[in-house]
Structure 1
Amino acid sequence: MMPDVPARWRGECEEDEDFKASACNKKLIGARKFYNGFQMAVEHSGGILNETLSPRDHEGHGTHTSTTAAGSQAANVSLFGYASGTARGMAVHARVASYKVCWKLGCFGSDILAAMDKAISDGVDVLSMSLGGGSGPYYQDPVAVGAFKAIEKGVFVSCSAGNSGPARSSIANVAPWIMTVGAGTLDRDFPAFAVLGNGKRVRGVSLYGGAGMGDKQVELVYHSGLRNITSSGSLCLPGSLEPDRVRGKVVLCDRGVNARVEKGMVVKEAGGVGMILANTAGSGEELVADSHLLPALAVGRKVGDEIREYLKSEAKPTAVLSFGGTVLGVKPSPVVAAFSSRGPNKVTPQILKPDVIGPGVNILAGWSGVAGPTGLEGDTRRTQYNILSGTSMSCPHISGLAALLKGAHPKWSPSAIKSALMTTAYTMDSTNSMLHDASEGQLSTPWAHGAGHVDPNKAVSPGLVYDISTKEYIAFVCSLGYTVKQVKAIVNRPNVNCTRKFRDPGQLNYPSFAIVFGESRVVRYTRRLTNVGLAGSVYDVEVEAPEDVAVDVKPKRLVFKKEGDRMRYTVTFVSKKGVSFSRDDAFGHITWKNGENQVRSPVAFCWVQQL
Structure 2
Amino acid sequence: KLIGARFYIHALDENHNSARDTIGHGTHTASTVAGNQVNKASFYGLAPGNMRGAVPSARIAVYKVCWEDLCEDSEVLAAFDDAIADGVDIISISIGTRSAHQYYRDPIAIGSFHAMQKGVLTSQSAGNSGPYESTVASIAPWKLSVAASTTDRQFIVKVVLGDNTTLVGKGISPFDMKRKKFPLVDYHAVNNSFTGKIIFKNFYASGGYELHEKAAGIIFGYDDDIGFSINCPLPGSVLSSKDGERVSSYINNTRHPVAEILKTEAIRNGSAPVVGTFSSRGPNPFTKDILKPDITAPGVDILAAWSPEGSPSEVTGDERATKYNIVSGTSMACPHATGAAAYVKTFHPDWSPAAIKSALMTTAFPMNATTNPDAEIAYGAGHIDPVKAINPGLIYEALEDDYIRMLCNIGYTPEQIQIFSGHNNSCSKLSRGSPKDLNYPTMISNVAEAKFTRTVTNVGNANSTYKATITSPSNLKISVTPEVLSFKSLNETKSFVVTMSTKARPVDPYLIISASLVWSDGVHNVRSPIVMYLTVRPSDDLVHL
TM-score (norm 2): 0.92
In structure 1, what is the Cα distance between the partners aligned to 2:126 and 2:529? 18
Q: Does the 8 Å contact 2:155/2:229 carry over to 1?
A: no
Q: Bigger CA drift: 163-172 or 419-428?
A: 419-428
Q: Deviations over 1:33-88 (max 9, x none)?
A: 1112xx3xxxxxxxx95623211111111111111111111222211111222111
Q: Bigger CA drift: 536-545 or 166-175?
A: 536-545
Show the 5 A alignment for 1:130-149: 130-133=94-97, 135-149=100-114
Show the 5 A alignment for 1:68-79: 68-79=32-43
Does structure 1 residue 478 correspond to structure 2 residue 439? no
Q: Does the 8 Å contact 1:124/1:155 carry over to 2?
A: yes
Alignment partner of 1:286 out of 227, 231, 244: 227
In structure 2, what is the Cα distance between the partners aligned to 1:305 and 1:72? 46
Alignment partner of 1:530 out of 457, 471, 478: 457
In structure 1, what is the Cα distance between the partners aligned to 2:486 and 2:251? 67
Q: Bigger CA drift: 460-469 or 89-98?
A: 460-469
Q: Which one-letter code corresponds to 1:287 in the other structure?
A: F
Does structure 1 residue 252 correspond to structure 2 residue 204? no
Change (3 A) 1:379 1:351: same
Q: Bigger CA drift: 566-575 or 368-377?
A: 368-377
Does structure 1 residue 203 correspond to structure 2 residue 168? yes
Show the 5 A alignment for 1:204-283: 204-210=169-175, 212-223=176-187, 226=189, 243-244=192-193, 246-256=194-204, 258=205, 262-263=206-207, 265-281=208-224
1:588 is paired with a residue whose SS is strand
Q: Deviations over 1:156-179 (max 9, x none)?
A: 100011111111111111100010
Q: Does the 8 Å contact 1:130/1:395 carry over to 2?
A: yes
Q: Which one-letter code corresponds to 2:9 in the other structure?
A: Y
Match of 2:371 in 1: 436
In structure 1, what is the Cα distance between the partners aligned to 2:209 and 2:426? 56
In structure 1, what is the Cα distance between the partners aligned to 2:270 and 2:82? 44
Change (3 A) 1:335 1:314: farther
Change (3 A) 1:123 1:597: same
Runs of 5+ consecutive residues of structure 2 not aligned to the other structure: 539-545
Q: Which one-letter code corresponds to 2:132 in the other structure?
A: A
Q: Bigger CA drift: 303-312 or 78-87?
A: 303-312
Show the 5 A alignment for 1:560-579: 560-576=487-503
In structure 2, what is the Cα distance between the partners aligned to 1:373 and 1:215? 25
CA deviation after TM superposition for structure 1 residue 590, in Å: 1.7
Does structure 1 residue 413 correspond to structure 2 residue 352? yes
CA deviation after TM superposition for structure 1 residue 436, in Å: 2.3
In structure 2, what is the Cα distance between the partners aligned to 1:409 and 1:190? 38
Q: Does the 8 Å contact 1:584/1:610 carry over to 2?
A: no
CA deviation after TM superposition for structure 1 residue 399, in Å: 0.8
Does structure 1 residue 557 correspond to structure 2 residue 480? no
Aligned length: 537
Q: Deviations over 1:110-145 (max 9, x none)?
A: 100010011001101100000014612111111001
Show the 5 A alignment for 1:143-162: 143-162=108-127
Show the 5 A alignment for 1:339-354: 339-354=278-293
Show the 5 A alignment for 1:94-493: 94-104=58-68, 106-133=70-97, 135-210=100-175, 212-223=176-187, 226=189, 243-244=192-193, 246-256=194-204, 258=205, 262-263=206-207, 265-281=208-224, 284=225, 286-290=227-231, 292-308=232-248, 310-311=250-251, 314=254, 317-327=257-267, 329-428=268-367, 434=369, 436-437=371-372, 443-493=373-423
Q: Bigger CA drift: 368-377 or 384-393?
A: 368-377
Q: Which one-letter code corresponds to 1:129 in the other structure?
A: I
Match of 1:33 in 2: 7
Q: Does the 8 Å contact 1:252/1:278 carry over to 2?
A: yes
In structure 2, what is the Cα distance between the partners aligned to 1:58 and 1:420? 36
In structure 2, what is the Cα distance between the partners aligned to 1:602 and 1:610? 25
Q: Does the 8 Å contact 1:354/1:449 carry over to 2?
A: yes
1:569 is paired with a residue whose SS is strand
Q: Does the 8 Å contact 2:476/2:513 carry over to 1?
A: no
Q: Which one-letter code corresponds to 1:179 in the other structure?
A: L
CA deviation after TM superposition for structure 1 residue 534, in Å: 1.2
Q: Deviations over 1:492-550 (max 9, x none)?
A: 22344452144110110101111110xxx421110111111112222222223343332
CA deviation after TM superposition for structure 1 residue 401, in Å: 1.1
CA deviation after TM superposition for structure 1 residue 369, in Å: 2.3
Q: Does the 8 Å contact 1:435/1:444 carry over to 2?
A: no
Alignment partner of 1:499 out of 406, 420, 429: 429
In structure 2, what is the Cα distance between the partners aligned to 1:382 and 1:160? 26
In structure 2, what is the Cα distance between the partners aligned to 1:217 and 1:299? 18
Q: Does the 8 Å contact 2:365/2:385 carry over to 1?
A: yes
In structure 2, what is the Cα distance between the partners aligned to 1:351 and 1:578? 21
Alignment partner of 1:81 out of 35, 45, 68: 45
Q: Does the 8 Å contact 2:184/2:257 carry over to 1?
A: yes
1:540 is paired with a residue whose SS is strand
Match of 2:541 in 1: none
In structure 1, what is the Cα distance between the partners aligned to 2:164 and 2:507? 52
Match of 1:588 in 2: 515
Instruction: Let me know the Cα RMSD of the aligned residues.
Output: 2.4
CA deviation after TM superposition for structure 1 residue 489, in Å: 1.4
Q: Which one-letter code corresponds to 2:371 in the other structure?
A: H
CA deviation after TM superposition for structure 1 residue 336, in Å: 1.0
CA deviation after TM superposition for structure 1 residue 302, in Å: 4.6
Runs of 5+ consecutive residues of structure 1 not aligned to the other structure: 1-26, 40-47, 227-240, 438-442
Q: Bigger CA drift: 469-478 or 495-504?
A: 495-504
Q: Deviations over 1:424-481 (max 9, x none)?
A: 11134xxxx55624xxxxx451111111110111111111111111111111111111
Match of 1:90 in 2: 54
Q: Does the 8 Å contact 1:190/1:289 carry over to 2?
A: no
Q: Which one-letter code corresponds to 1:70 in the other structure?
A: A
CA deviation after TM superposition for structure 1 residue 351, in Å: 0.6
TM-score (norm 1): 0.83
Change (3 A) 1:582 1:208: closer
Q: Bigger CA drift: 137-146 or 545-554?
A: 545-554
Q: Percent identity?
A: 39
Change (3 A) 1:394 1:180: same
In structure 2, what is the Cα distance between the partners aligned to 1:128 and 1:199? 48
Q: Does the 8 Å contact 1:535/1:563 carry over to 2?
A: yes
In structure 1, what is the Cα distance between the partners aligned to 2:203 and 2:304? 25
Alignment partner of 2:28 out of 51, 64, 86: 64
